[in-house]
A and B are shown apart, each in its own frame.
Chain A
Amino acid sequence: MTACFDRAVRRVSRSDLEIRLGTSEGRLTFAGTALHDVFAPAFRHLVNAAVTPSPSPDALKVLLWDSASSRVQPPAPPWSSREFLARGEVNHDFGDGVRLSFRIDSGVLSVFVPGSNTALCWVRDPAQLPPWELAAPLRPILAWWAENTSRQLAHGAAVGTATGAVLLGARGGSGKSTTALSCLEGGMLYLGDDYVMLEEGNPPVVNSLYSTAKLIPRNLDGRLPRLRALVTGHRDVDQDKVTLSLYDAFAESLVPSLPLRAIVVPAVSPTGRLALRPAPAAAALAALAPTTLFQLPNAGAAALARMGQIVAAIPRYHLDLDTDLATNVAALRDLIERGARA
C-alpha cells in the first residue's frame, strides 16, 4: 500500500496538512490536490494550532491518495467479496493489530497500524464521495488512532464557553444539531456537531475534529436562516440533510478542546417549554454509545467501557428543548458554569 502511495506522489505531487488532535497532532500527507481539496476544509480550524513545537510521540501520520487523479490503483484485496461486513469491516486477520475497513458505499479504504500510529487512506474517486465523508473525513482512522492512544470518538455535538463544554448525545431527530448551531450563533464556542473526541481526565476533555455541521433544511430555513449562506453543495439525500461549513463565518468560535462539564441528552419537549432534570448514567450512555459504536469499525467492549468511564465521571441531564432557541442556549451556558464551579 505504501508503495502505491509513493507511486501516486511521483505522478501528482505531494502536500502536507498538520492539524491538532487533542493534546497531540496529525500529519495528513496527500498525493495530489484532488483529495486534499475535499478533505482539508473539515479540518481548517485545527490547522496551525500545534500543541508543541515538535510532534508528540503518539502523533498520527496518514498517507492519502486517490485513483481518479493519480491513476494508481491499490492492490486487489486478497479475500473474497463475501468477507466484507457491516461497518466497513473485513473478515480477515491482518496481523500485528492492523485495522482495515472498506466502505463499499463510498469507495474509501482505511488502514491503521497501531504500532507506529500510521495510516493509509485510499479513495477511488474524490468527486464521487458522499456528503458524510466530506463532512467527517477519516473517521475510521481517527477512531482507531483515538483508541490506540487512550482517547475515544463519540457521536455527539459539543458546545461551550471559556470554562468548559457540554456534550449533547442523542439519537437522530432529537434537536442536537439545531441546538448546537443555535449555541454557536448565540456566541458560544463550538467543538462539533457530529463527531468529537473524548479524553479521560479530571475533568474529561472534549476535542474538536470537524468544522462542519449537518442539518435538516426545514430546521435551517425555519430556525437558523442566517446560516443558509454556509451551506455547501453537498446534500445527503437519504438523510435529507445539508452540510454547513462553519470556518469562514465562525473561525474564532471553533476551538480545539475544552474541559467537559456535563453530558446532556436533548429531546423535543412535549410542552414546548424547557425542562432540565438529572439523567441516570445508563440513559446518557445509551444515548451516546450505540450510535457511536454502530458506526465505527471494530468498536466493541473496550470502547463501550471507555465511554462508560467518561459518562460516569460527570453530571448528566435530560433536556427537554424549549421552542425558543435562546432559552436552550442560556440553559446550556448555566450548566457549564455550574459544572465548572463544582
Chain B
Amino acid sequence: MPDPAFFRINAPLVAVQEIEGEAILINFDTGCYYCANATGAVLLDLVQRGESVLAMGAALAERCGVAEATVAEAVSAFLAEALAGGLIVAGVSAVSVDGGTAAGPASVAALTYVEPQLEKFDDLQDLLMLDPIHDVDQAGWPMQAPNPDTGTPNSPA
C-alpha cells in the first residue's frame, strides 16, 4: 500500500528536468508547467530517490546548514502543493521504479536556504484541449461536428 510519508513523480503524466540547480516540471494531464527554485529542485531530486518526507527535511537542512525545524513546515507545504498539482503521488518506501528516478549521485554542495517554491504556469492549457464533440466519417474516423450556427466545421483552438 502506498505510504503517505513517501512520494514519487507522477510519471509518465509528469516530466521533470533538473537544469543548473533548478527544475522544470510539465504536467501533460493538466497542461500546466512549473519552475522549482534551487531548494525545491533538491526536494524533487529527493522524491525521485525515494526518500521519506522526514529524510527530505533532514537532507535539505543539512545542505543549507540550517536546523531541521527551519525547513520542516516549508517542506510540507512544497510537497502539498506538488501533490495538489498532480506532480507527485503517494509512493512506497523504496526508490521509485515508475519512472522519474534521479540520475547520478545526489549533490551535496552547500546551498543558501530559501523556502522551496513552485511557480505555476497555466497559459498553455488550451494546447491540450480536446474537442469532445465530433461526428464520424464514412471510413469510421472522427471529424469535427459542424458549427450549429454556420453548419461548417468549427475553427479549432
Interface locus among A21-29, A54-62, A74-82, A200-208: A74-82
B28 touches A286 (CB 8 A): no
Whether the pair A102, B142 counts as a contact (CB closer than 8 A) is yes
* Measured CA separation A312–B130 after assembly (Å): 33
| Min C-beta distance of A242 to chain B, whole Å | 14
For B130, the chain A residues whose CB sits under 8 A away are 84-86, 104
In the complex, A74→B156 CA distance in Å?
23
Among B17, B33, B129, B153, the residue within 8 A (CB) of A305 is B17
**Cβ-closest chain A residue relative to B143:** A107
- In the complex where A237-B155, A295-B127 touch, is A308 in contact with B138 (Cβ < 8 A)? no
Q: Mark A45-65, 1 if CB is under 8 A from B, else 0.
A: 000000000000000000000
Docked complex Cα distance between A87 and B157 (Å): 12
Q: Which residues of B contact A289 (CB under 8 A)?
A: 17, 24, 26, 33
Is B50 located at the chain interface by the 8 A CB criterion? no
For A249, what are the chain B residues with a Cβ–Cβ distance below 8 Å? none
Q: Is the CB of A104 within 8 A of B131?
A: yes
A281 to B17, CA, bound (A): 11
Cβ contacts B53-84/A at 8 Å (1 or 0 each) = 00000000000000000000000000000000
Contacts A81-B142, A293-B28, A301-B12 given; does A124 touch B127 at CB 8 Å:
no
B134-157 vs A, CB cutoff 8 Å, 1 = contact: the mask equals: 101111111110000000011111
Asked whether any CB of chain B lies closer than 8 Å to the CB of A231, the reply is: no
What's the least CB distance linking A80 to chain B, in Å? 10
The answer for the CA separation of A285 and B144 in the assembled complex, in Å, is 34
- Other-chain contact of B35, A286, A300, A311 (Cβ < 8 Å): A286
B121 touches A282 (CB 8 A): no
Would you list which residues of chain A between 78 and 108 have a CB under 8 Å from chain B?
81, 84-87, 102, 104-107
CA of A294 to CA of B20 in the docked complex: distance in angstroms? 23
Q: Any chain A CB within 8 A of the CB of B128?
A: yes
Contacts of A311 in B (CB 8 A): 19
The answer to whether A286 and B121 touch across the interface, beta carbons within 8 angstroms, is: yes
- Whether the pair A294, B19 counts as a contact (CB closer than 8 A) is no
Number of chain A residues whose Cβ lies closer than 8 Å to a Cβ of chain B: 43
Q: A77: which B residues are within 8 A, CB to CB?
A: 140-141
Instruction: Tell whether, in the assembled complex, residue B20 and residue A280 are in contact, meaning their CB atoms are under 8 Å apart.
Output: yes
CB neighbours (8 Å) of A104 from chain B are 130-131, 134, 142-144
Q: Does A197 contact B (CB under 8 A)?
A: no
A238 contacts B24, C-beta separation under 8 Å: no
Q: Cβ of B26 and Cβ of A285 under 8 Å apart?
A: no
Contact of A81 among B12, B18, B136 (CB under 8 A): B136
For residue B129, which residues in chain A have a CB less than 8 angstroms away from its CB? 86
How far in angstroms is the closest Cβ of chain A from B152? 10
Measured between beta carbons, the chain B residues less than 8 angstroms from A118 are: none
Q: Which of A81, A237, A285, A286 contacts B134 (CB 8 A)?
A: A81
Bound-complex Cα distance A308 to B15 (A): 12
| B128 proximity list for chain A (CB < 8 A) | 86-87, 294
Q: Which residues of A contact B4 (CB under 8 A)?
A: none
Of the residues B15, B33, B156, contact of A105 by C-beta under 8 Å: B156
| B97 contacts the other chain (CB 8 A) | no
A301 to B17, CA, bound (A): 8
Query: Given contacts A73-B138, A281-B19, A289-B26, are A238 and B127 in contact (CB under 8 A)?
Result: no
Partner of B17, one of A73, A128, A308: A308
B137 touches A282 (CB 8 A): no
Are A282 and B142 in contact, with the CB atoms below 8 A? Answer: no
Q: Report how far A305 CA is from B136 CA in the complex, Å.
A: 38
A290 on the interface (CB 8 Å rule)? yes
Question: A289-B26, A293-B26, A308-B24 are contacts. A301–B131 as well, Cβ < 8 Å?
Answer: no
Given contacts A102-B142, A289-B33, A300-B28, 8 further A-B contacts (CB under 8 A): A86-B129, A105-B156, A105-B157, A124-B137, A282-B35, A290-B26, A290-B124, A304-B15
**Which 5 pairs between the two chains have the least Cβ-Cβ distance?**
A76-B140, A105-B156, A282-B22, A73-B139, A301-B15
8 contacts between A and B (CB under 8 A): A105-B153, A107-B137, A237-B155, A285-B19, A290-B124, A294-B127, A301-B100, A304-B16
Interface residues of A (CB under 8 A from B): 67, 73-77, 81, 84-87, 102, 104-107, 109, 124, 128, 130, 171, 237-238, 280-283, 285-286, 289-291, 293-295, 300-301, 304-305, 307-308, 311-312
